[in-house]
Structure 1
Amino acid sequence: MSQTEGQLVVLSGPSGVGKSTLLRRLLSDFSSLIPSISATTRPPRTGEKPGVDYHFLSPEEFENAKKAARFIECCQVYGREYWYGTLEDEVTPRLTHGKWVILEIDVEGTLS
């Protein structure tokens, strides 16, 4: 994977289909892939680190980011309780610098 122009790779599927497993495998096999860190309004789970696993935002912060058009995709999933999304500033600067960025998103996020 060597190009001067960045590429966007999207892993999408329903919950439980194995996206995270495939993502870990791809990241271990292809060092040029950079994972995009999604934003969410859900609270961190045990062991999750802000800015590493997710960008944990309050519902107000998430709504403000939506209004400012900062997401390339976002949606409510898992019973409509929490929001998930991909912030534009997680992706565009890396693509501009020729990086390969990989997104792991739910089917609903892909459709949005």
Structure 2
Amino acid sequence: METDCLFCKIVAKEIPAEIVHETARTLAFRDINPQAPTHVLVISKGHYADAGAVADADDGLADEILKAARSIAVQEGVAESGYRVVFNTGPAAGQTVFHVHGHVLGGRDLGWPPG
């Protein structure tokens, strides 16, 4: 755990969050500033700075995060109509919390291109 990391504090239950899904290595909770009717963040319980760090770890965690995202989409009722999973990696991509997290977005037409 990184002591100054917001998401590590959520994993440790030091900061409250509306948790919607949890596995041994992932945690998912509602975004406090939702950009769609469904906007859930899926994080690793262990601290990895970004998606690149998870990919470099090569221990199956990226797969677990994507599987959690899929479970959330089914649970939230957006799997059939469509949903987006977004990983912002680095400041230029809009990452503001440097703990890997995928945004699961759905429940409306998301359009293209994003951002």
- TM-score category by the smaller chain? under 0.3
Structure number with higher relative contact order (C-alpha < 8 Å, ≥ 6 residues apart):
1
Q: Normalized against structure 2, the TM-score is what?
A: 0.25
